[in-house]
């Protein structure tokens, strides 16, 4: 009975902290997913993201991240907003980077969550993750019933779409696991058809990361290959194309997280102002943003690639 009570309490606590979805899966090695990851890496789909090859065993086995782990708690946090950049011709930023860096916002909530767990359950062993460690977060979210992995390889929820961050708590407490839900992509190919760099495989469910606009504008540190000139559709940081065309995102609703609100400067900058952006303006506009990851030189490289 205590297992059921803890599970109920954890789900209530997640909602109290602002998480939109919570699902639980039994902690065990992901054998099927390990083979898929191995194939993906062998094909070089990770491009220059060498870190994807690191800690392979930890990536597929949560008990190596938290010894004695029994449960993986997956969480979703909405970041969708109706807000748009005012100049339709301005270079574009992915919605996830509009506000304060999500790593910091969600990590603080996860730390509070873990602390509250120990207060409730006593001495437990656990770790929290938000896109910052070798965790196959989409696979765990799928296992715990938070959605299915779509043809664009993003987690999709049938009532919420896909504009949400994923986070995990791995703990050494046995909880009641949730059941996965079915795939509702059906015969739809909108994301495949819309991707300007053809990063999504013709049948879907596999993305060549080395062709993705988000990869080029965030992960790649060297010059962007000229063969992709004119194919970025004005995206200077990240890309939302496969989400914008996804029919399930008609169910997306605006988030209620004040820290994700975009600054006025970001929304009002014109194409001309972006082209002339200085390091001083970059630091002001992106003071606490995930865009800082690409640094001023990286963002300037992206903008120049779009318009020179």
Nearest CA among 142, 250, 248, 243 for reference residue 200? 243
pLDDT band, very low/low/confident/very high, at 200 (cuts 50, 70, 90): very high
Residue with tokens 């799928």: 142
Contact partners, residue 240, CB within 8 Å, separation at least 6: 92, 94, 95
pLDDT band, very low/low/confident/very high, at 100 (cuts 50, 70, 90): very high
For the stretch 261-306, pLDDT in tens is: 999 999 999 999 999 999 999 999 999 999 999 999 999 999 999 9
Across the range 48-63, mean pLDDT stands at 95
For the stretch 127-182, pLDDT in tens is: 999 987 899 999 999 999 999 999 999 999 999 999 999 999 999 999 999 999 99
> Does the pLDDT at position 1 exceed 70?
no
> Does the pLDDT at position 20 exceed 70?
yes
CA distance 76 to 164: 6
For residue 133, the model assigns a pLDDT of: 85
Question: What is the phi/psi pair of residue 21, to 5°?
Answer: -140, 150
> Does the pLDDT at position 112 exceed 90?
yes
Please provide the average confidence, as pLDDT, over all residues in the chain: 97
CA distance 85 to 262: 10
Answer yes or no: 131 catalytic. yes
pLDDT band, very low/low/confident/very high, at 259 (cuts 50, 70, 90): very high
Which one from 131, 172, 183, 234 is the annotated catalytic residue? 131
For residue 93, the model assigns a pLDDT of: 98
> Does the pLDDT at position 124 exceed 90?
yes
Q: Range of 210's domain?
A: 1-308
Contact 290, 214 (CB under 8 A): no
For residue 2, the model assigns a pLDDT of: 87
pTM of the predicted protein model: 0.96
Q: How many domains does the chain have?
A: 1
Report DSSP state, residue 202.
T
> Does the pLDDT at position 210 exceed 80?
yes
């Amino acid at each position: 009975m205590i297992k059921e009570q803890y599970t109920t309490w954890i789900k209530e606590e997640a909602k109290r902290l602002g998480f939109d979805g919570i699902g639980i899966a039994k902690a065990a090695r992901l054998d099927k997913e390990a083979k898929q990851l191995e194939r993906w890496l062998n094909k070089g789909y990770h491009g220059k993201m060498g870190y994807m090859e690191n800690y392979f065993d930890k990536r597929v086995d949560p008990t190596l991240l938290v010894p004695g782990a029994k449960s993986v708690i997956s969480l979703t946090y909405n970041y969708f907003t109706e807000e748009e950049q005012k100049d339709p011709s301005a270079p574009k930023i992915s919605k996830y980077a509009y506000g304060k860096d999500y790593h910091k916002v969600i990590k603080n909530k996860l730390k509070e969550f873990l602390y509250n767990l120990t207060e409730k359950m006593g001495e437990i062993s656990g770790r929290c993750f938000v896109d910052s460690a070798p965790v196959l977060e989409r696979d765990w979210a799928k296992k715990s019933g938070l959605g299915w992995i779509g043809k664009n390889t993003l987690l999709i929820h049938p009532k919420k779409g896909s504009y949400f961050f994923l986070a995990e708590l791995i703990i050494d407490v046995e909880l009641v696991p949730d059941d996965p839900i079915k795939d509702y992509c059906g015969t739809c190919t909108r994301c495949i058809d819309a991707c300007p760099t053809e990063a999504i495989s013709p049948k879907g469910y596999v993305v060549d990361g080395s062709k993705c606009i988000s990869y080029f504008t965030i992960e790649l540190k060297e010059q962007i290959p000229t063969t992709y000139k004119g194919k970025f559709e004005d995206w200077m940081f990240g890309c939302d194309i496969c989400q914008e065309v996804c029919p399930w995102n008609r169910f997306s609703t605006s988030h209620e997280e004040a820290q994700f609100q975009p600054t006025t400067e970001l929304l009002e900058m014109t194409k001309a102002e972006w082209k002339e952006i200085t390091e001083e303006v970059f630091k002001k506009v992106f003071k606490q943003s995930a865009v800082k990851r690409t640094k001023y030189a990286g963002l300037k490289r992206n903008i120049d690639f779009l318009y020179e």
